[in-house]
Amino acid sequence: MADRMLQFVRLSQHQPDKRAAATRRTDFGEIYQRFSAERASEQSSRCSQCGVPFCSIHCPLNNNIPDWLKLTAEGRLEEAYEIASATNTFPEICGRVCPQDRLCEGNCVIEKGFESVTIGAVEKYITDTAWEKGWVKPPSPVREVAHSVGIIGAGPAGLAAAERLRGRGWKVTVYDRYDRVGGLMIYGIPNFKLEKEVVLRRAEQFAAGGIEFVLNCQVGRDISMEELRAKHDAVLIATGVYKARDLGGPGAELAGIVPALDYLTASNRQNLGDAVPAYEDGTLNAAGKRVVVIGGGDTAMDCVRTAIRQGATSVTCLYRRDKANMPGSMREVSNAEEEGVRFAWLSAPEGFEGEGGKVSGVRAVKMHLGLPDATGRQQVEPIPGSAFSEPADLVIKALGFDPEDLPTMFNEPGLTVSRWGTLSIDRRSMMTKLDGVFAAGDIVRGASLVVWGIRDGRDVADQIESYVLAKASSPALAAE
C-alpha cells in the first residue's frame, strides 16, 4: 500500500518485465509480464497528482488517469476500474496497444530526470484484474427504448458506439464483412501485442448484453444501404481504412512482394487456428526467407516482428528517414531491435530485382535529411551515387492505408468523400450528406490509433442519440 502519492522522488520508474528476446521471438505470446499488486501500487504512487494533468489532456479519451492511479496506489482496484472504464470502452486493449510514449506517458510532467509514470502497464493491470474478479459486465440498460441503430464495421469505433448506445437501451445491430468481431484489432495487430482472447471476450460480452452481430455481411452485396436506412432509425459507417498504399517502380509486379495487411491477416488467422492456404504454401509465410519490410510505422514494426517469429533467416526494415523521425512507437522499435531486426535508416526503395518472375532484392538509395517543409518536418533527398541492393525473398509493403471507395462499394452515390477519399461529414453532427447516416473513426479521419477510434465511436453515439430524439420529438422532422 502507498502511504502517499508523489513517490517519484524516491521510487524509480519500472516497466513490467519483458520476456527474454531469445524466448519471445519463438512464439506469439505477449512479451510483457504482468505487474504484481505491490509493483502496480508502487508505480501508481509515483504520480504527482498535478493540478493540470497533461497525461489526461494528451489522451484522446481524456481518461481520468491521476484518479485511477491514486486508487490503484491505495489498493482500491474495483473503484479504479470504474473510473478507467467510465471514459474508455476498451481499457484493457488501450493498455496494451496505445503508444503511451507518444501520448499520456510522453507528456507526464515528471518525465524529465525522473521518468514518467508507467500509465499503460497500470491500466492493463487494473482491467485484467477486473476481468478476473468479474467486475466487467455486459452493457445492460436500465430500460429498453424504441430506437434502433445499424452499425457498419465491428472495429474500435463501431464497437465503442455500439456499447454506448446499447447501454442506453437502444437495439444495436453491427454488420461486418469479416467472420470475427474486432476489425484490425483481431486481424491487423499480432498476438505479441494483443492476444486475441482479449478482443474475443469483449465481443462475447457485447453479444451477451444484447448487441446483435451480423458477420460475413458486405454492405452493397448482401444488404443495401437503402435496406439499412429503412430498417434502423440511424446508420453509422465505421468501416475503417483497408486499402493498402502501393509502391510502384521497376519490378513491382514480381511475386513475393505483398501488402502488409495481407501478411498480418494470414499470420493472425493461422494463430487463430484457421486454414490459410497462402500461409501454408509459403506465399505469406516468412519461414526460411530473407525478409525486407518497407515502412516505418507501427504496421511495419508488426510485420518485422512477425517475420522474426515465423523463422525468417534475416529481417531488414527499410525506412527513408532516421530513427528519430520514425512515425511508429519508439518502444516497438526497441523491441524489434532486441529481437534481431536490422534497420536500414535513410534508405528509400527505387525498384525491385527478380529472377524467374520472383523477387530477389530491393533496389534502394541512401537519403539525407534536408530543410524542413511547410509542416516543419525535414524533407528527404537522395544522395547521388549511393544506390544499393538489399537481398530479399519476401518484400512486405507497410506504407499505410487509404480508404476504399465506399460510394461505389455500397452502391450509394449520395455518400461524398474528401480529396483523401475519406467520408465527408458535418464536423459538428458527424452526419454524412445522407440524412440519418453518420460516420466515424478512420473512415473519416484516415488511418489512426485504436484510441482515436474509440473516442470517435463514443462521440458519434451521442450525436446519433441527439438526432433520433430530436426527430422523434418533432413531427416536421419525422415527416422528412
- pLDDT confidence tier of residue 322, bands split at 50, 70 and 90: very high
Q: What is the pTM of this model?
A: 0.94
Q: Is the pLDDT of residue 476 over 80?
A: no
Three cell numbers at 157?
Answer: 469505433
Predicted confidence (pLDDT) per residue in 126-148, tens digit: 999 999 999 999 998 999 999 99
Span 33-74, pLDDT tens digits: 889 999 999 999 999 999 899 999 999 999 999 999 999 999
Please, are residues 59 and 71 in contact by the beta-carbon 8 Å criterion?
Answer: no
334-350: per-residue pLDDT in tens?
Answer: 999 999 999 999 999 99
Instruction: Report whether pLDDT(317) > 70.
Output: yes
State residue 138's pLDDT score. Answer: 95
pLDDT in tens, 174-190: 999 999 999 999 999 99
Which residue, 113, 108, 223, is CA-closest to 175? Answer: 223
Q: Cell numbers of 336, please? A: 524489434
pLDDT of 414 higher than 80: yes
- pLDDT bracket for residue 164 (50, 70, 90): very high
Please provide the average confidence, as pLDDT, over all residues in the chain: 94
Q: What is the pLDDT of residue 218?
A: 96
Residue 478 has pLDDT above 80, yes or no: no
Query: Residue 477 — pLDDT band, cuts 50, 70, 90?
Result: low
Rounded to whole angstroms, how far apart are CA atoms 329 and 193? 12
Query: Please, what is the Cα angle at 89 between 88 and 93, to 5 degrees?
Result: 90
pLDDT at 373 over 70: yes
Q: Supply φ then ψ for residue 434, to 5 degrees.
A: -90, 130
Q: What is the predicted pLDDT for the residue at 1? A: 43
- Please state the three-class secondary structure of the chain as a single string: CCCCCCHHHCCCCCCCCECCHHHHCCCCCCCECCCCHHHHHHHHCCCCCCCCCHHHHCCCCCCCHHHHHHHHHCCCHHHHHHHHHHHCCCHHHHHHHCCCCCCCHHHCCCHHHHCCCCHHHHHHHHHHHHHHHCCCCCCCCCCCCCCEEEEECCCHHHHHHHHHHHCCCCEEEEECCCCCCCCHHHHCCCCCCCCHHHHHHHHHHHHHCCCEEECCCCECCCECHHHHHHHCCEEEECCCCCEECCCCCCCCCCECEEEHHHHHHHHHHHHCCCCCHHHHCCCCCCCCCEEEEECCCHHHHHHHHHHHHHCCCEEEEECCCCHHHCCCCHHHHHHHHHCCCEEECCEEEEEEEEECCEEEEEEEEEEEEEEECCCCCEEEEECCCCCEEEECCEEEECCCEECCCHHHHCCCCCCCECCCCCECCCCCCCECCCCCEEECCHHHHCCCCHHHHHHHHHHHHHHHHHHHHHHHHCHHHHHC
Which pLDDT band, with edges at 50, 70 and 90, does 284 fall under? very high
Is the confidence at residue 377, as pLDDT, over 90? no
Choice among 97-101, 222-226, 377-381 with the minimum mean pLDDT: 377-381
Bridge partner list, 388: 364
Q: Assess whether pLDDT exceeds 70 at residue 480.
A: no
